[in-house]
Structure 1
Amino acid sequence: MRKRFLRALALWLIPPIGTLLIRLIYLTNRKRFHLPMSIPNEPVIFAFWHGDLLMQPYLYYQFRRNPKANVLISDHFDGQIIARIMRYFKLGTIHGSTTRGGAKVLIQGLKSLSEGYDIGITPDGPKGPRHEMSDGVVVMAQKRNAKVIVYSCVPSTFWQLPSWDRFTVPKPFGRLDFYASEPIDLGGLEMEAAKALIKAKLMEHVL
C-alpha cells in the first residue's frame, strides 16, 4: 500500500517538475541547430540513444510546427513518468519494448506511421545494453518505407547519471548543439547492415 501511494505521488509530482526543469535548462542555454537540407513531409522515424532523450522534444519542434508524433516508451514505472512528461510537450507515447514482447509495440508503431504520425525511438531502450541496436527501427522503416533521422544533443557542460544508459542532463548556462542527420533510406539493406548504418550515425556525436 505504501509503495503504491509513493508511486502515485511520484507520478503526480515528478512530471510537472521535470517538465519545468527541462524548460529551464533549454531557456538558460545557448542553442545551435545543425539540421538536414531537406525534411520529409511524410512520417519519419526519429532515432536517438536512451541516455540522450531529455532535450529531444525541442529538436523535434524544429521539424514540425504542429507536433504529431508517438514516442516508444518503456512500460516500466520510469517509462510512465517519461510518458507524462512527453504529454506536456504535446507528444504521444506507445508503451512497450522492441526487444521483449516486441511484436505488440512494433504493430502499434507501424499503425501510427500509417496514420501519419512520426515515431520517436531509442534503439538501445528500454534497458540496454547501452548503444546496442534493437531491430525495431529497421523493421518499422522498411515495412512502411519510412526515412530515419538520427538525433543527438551535445551540451557543453552536463551531468551523467550512474544508470545503465548514463543518462545525460545538461547544465544551465552553457550551449546545446542539436544535430539531426539527413533522412536515411534503409530500403533494400539487410538487417545487420541497416543497424550498423544507423548506429554509426548515432555514434557521431555521442557523449
Structure 2
Amino acid sequence: MAVKNGFVYRLLLVVVPWLYGGLSRLLFATCRVRVHGRENLDRCEVQAKPFVGLFWHYSVFVAVALISGRGRGWAAMVSASKDAEFVARILARQGVVPVRGSRSRGGLGALKGLIALLDQGNNAAIVGDGSQGPPRVMQAGALLLASKSGAPILPLAVAADRFWAFGSWDRTLLPKPFAQLHLWYGEPLSVPEKAGSEEIEQCRLEMEHRLNGLYAQAWGEFGKESHDGA
C-alpha cells in the first residue's frame, strides 16, 4: 500500500501542477482586474533594485497570478512541508522560483536563498502571515529579508466578487470564472539595514496595519468586511 500511495503521490506531483497551470490561465483570462494604487507599484518598478511583494496567505494563488508576469523574474518562499511540494511546482510552472522553508523548518536557509535571488535581480513574493498563520497577523520574515537585502516591501491585497474559499486555516480563495477582481497596492516600506529587534517589531506592526488596511479597502469595494464568511 505504501508503494502504491508513493506512486500516486509522484503521479499527482506531475499532473496537478500541469493541470492547474492550464486551467488557471483560462480562469484568469476571463477575470476583470481593476488596479488601485498603481503609483506605488510604479515607484518600485522604476528603481534599479528589486522589491518584495507582500500579501496575506489567503490570496497566494491570485496575487502570484497577477504579479508574476511583470518585469523582473520572481522568487517565492514556500513551506518545506510535503504537501507544499504541489505549491512549489505550481509556482515553478508560472515562472516563479520556489525557495523552500518556513518559520519552523528551514527558514534561515530559505531567507539566505531569497537574498541571493534578490541580489541577482529577482523580485521576491512572500506571504505576510506565513504558511501556518494565524491569518492576517504579520510575521517577521519579510522584514528581516528587507533589512538584510535592502529591498523595499510593497504590500498588496486582492478581492473578488465571486470566488471559491477552501476550508484551510486562511480560507484560501480562487476566483470563479468571469469574476471581478480588485488589486490594491499600498505604500512601500523600507526597513533599515541591520535593524534591531525593536525596529523590526515596529516595522512588523506598521506592515500588518498597512496590509489589513488594504484588505479592508479591497473587500469594501464589494460591500464586504472580509472573505471569511463567504
**Which of residues 43, 50, 62 is equivalent to 2:57?**
50
TM-score, with length taken from structure 2? 0.82
**Aligned match of 1:19:** 21
Aligned partner of 1:22: which letter?
S
Aligned partner of 1:30: which letter?
R
Provide the C-alpha distance between the structure 2 equivalents of 1:42 and 1:130, rounded to a whole number of angstroms: 30
**Aligned match of 2:129:** 124
Provide the C-alpha distance between the structure 1 equivalents of 2:133 and 2:144, rounded to a whole number of angstroms: 18
**Which of residues 89, 95, 98 is equivalent to 2:94?**
89
Aligned partner of 1:44: which letter?
F
Asked if the contact 2:75–2:117 (Cα under 8 Å) also holds between the matched residues in 1, the reply is yes
**Aligned match of 1:201:** 210
Provide the C-alpha distance between the structure 2 equivalents of 1:44 and 1:98, rounded to a whole number of angstroms: 21
Provide the C-alpha distance between the structure 2 equivalents of 1:72 and 1:29, rounded to a whole number of angstroms: 26
Asked if the contact 1:70–1:91 (Cα under 8 Å) also holds between the matched residues in 2, the reply is yes
Asked if the contact 2:68–2:94 (Cα under 8 Å) also holds between the matched residues in 1, the reply is no
Instruction: Note the residue ranges of structure 1 that are not aligned, 5 or more in a row.
Output: none
Asked if the contact 1:98–1:105 (Cα under 8 Å) also holds between the matched residues in 2, the reply is no
The 5 A counterparts of 1:169-180 are: 169-180=174-185
**Aligned match of 2:67:** 60
Of 156-165 and 54-63, the range deviating more from structure 2: 54-63
Report which of the two structures shows the higher radius of gyration computed on alpha carbons. Answer: 2
Asked if the contact 2:80–2:105 (Cα under 8 Å) also holds between the matched residues in 1, the reply is no
The 5 A counterparts of 1:173-192 are: 173-187=178-192, 190-192=199-201
**Which of residues 63, 73, 79 is equivalent to 2:78?**
73
Whether 1:38 and 2:38 are equivalent positions in the alignment is no
Provide the C-alpha distance between the structure 1 equivalents of 2:152 and 2:6, rounded to a whole number of angstroms: 41
Provide the C-alpha distance between the structure 2 equivalents of 1:163 and 1:61, rounded to a whole number of angstroms: 24
Provide the C-alpha distance between the structure 2 equivalents of 1:152 and 1:19, rounded to a whole number of angstroms: 22
Aligned partner of 2:175: which letter?
P
Provide the C-alpha distance between the structure 2 equivalents of 1:112 and 1:140, rounded to a whole number of angstroms: 11
Please report how far the alpha carbon of residue 63 of structure 1 lies from its aligned counterpart in structure 2 after TM superposition: 4.1
Aligned residues: 205
1:173-200 deviation digits (Å, cap 9, x = unpaired): 2201112223211226712111111111
Provide the C-alpha distance between the structure 1 equivalents of 2:66 and 2:188, rounded to a whole number of angstroms: 15
1:102-154 deviation digits (Å, cap 9, x = unpaired): 21111112222222221111122212222222211011111122100012221
- Are the structure 2 counterparts of residues 142 and 54 from structure 1 closer, same or farther at C-alpha, using a change threshold of 3 Å? same
Of 95-104 and 116-125, the range deviating more from structure 2: 95-104
Aligned partner of 1:114: which letter?
D
Please report how far the alpha carbon of residue 61 of structure 1 lies from its aligned counterpart in structure 2 after TM superposition: 4.6
**Which of residues 111, 114, 117 is equivalent to 1:109?**
114
Please report how far the alpha carbon of residue 203 of structure 1 lies from its aligned counterpart in structure 2 after TM superposition: 1.1
Aligned partner of 1:128: which letter?
G
Q: Which has the higher helix share?
A: 2
Partner of 2:61: helix, strand, or coil? coil
**Percent pairwise identity:** 27
Provide the C-alpha distance between the structure 2 equivalents of 1:122 and 1:100, rounded to a whole number of angstroms: 16
Please report how far the alpha carbon of residue 62 of structure 1 lies from its aligned counterpart in structure 2 after TM superposition: 6.6
The structure showing larger relative contact order (alpha-carbon pairs under 8 Å, at least 6 residues apart) is: 1
Asked if the contact 2:158–2:183 (Cα under 8 Å) also holds between the matched residues in 1, the reply is yes
Provide the C-alpha distance between the structure 1 equivalents of 2:74 and 2:69, rounded to a whole number of angstroms: 13
Provide the C-alpha distance between the structure 1 equivalents of 2:113 and 2:29, rounded to a whole number of angstroms: 34
TM-score, with length taken from structure 1? 0.90
Asked if the contact 2:100–2:106 (Cα under 8 Å) also holds between the matched residues in 1, the reply is no
